[in-house]
Amino acid sequence: MNQYYVYILKCCDSSYYTGVTSNLESRLIKHHSGHFPKSYTHNRRPVRLVFYNEFNEIEQAISFEKQVKGWSRKKKEAIINDNWEKLKELSVCKNSSHSDNIDKGYDSAEPDNSNNSL
């Protein structure tokens, strides 16, 4: 049975790189050696493996990799620190324009009771 890995590297500039592979050891050697000159990590070496998760199905691994790539730095650091329960808290939208954060005292569907005549 094949194993697939989603991994996060911390680069020398403190940025994170997320990838997927079926051979973690070989992929790390390639990242460290600069095997791919056009890759994100090439000019950000040395890199350090800070997280990986195993999957039995490549589709699951690719799906998780895409999900993690879209995450904020704080969410990535939560799983790096094995703090998975913090993900829900970090997923709550805190923008003032988000529907959960708008003052519920006004409903735009309410009739206008002002005595303005047109």
pLDDT of amino acid 98: 60
DSSP summary character for residue 18? E
SS3 of 68, please?
A: helix
Region 13-28: mean pLDDT is: 98
The residue among 8, 41, 6 whose CA lies nearest residue 20 is 6
pTM, entire model: 0.78
Q: Please report the domains of the chain, with CATH numbers, ordered by start residue.
A: 4-94 (3.40.1440.10)
The full 3-state SS of 87-102, as one line of letters, equals HHHHHCCCCCCCHHHC
- For residue range 24-70, list pLDDT tens digits in order: 999 999 999 999 999 999 999 999 999 999 999 999 999 999 999 99
Do 17 and 40 meet the contact criterion of CB atoms below 8 Å apart?
yes
- For residue range 95-104, list pLDDT tens digits in order: 767 666 555 5
SS3 of 32, please?
A: helix
pLDDT of amino acid 41: 96
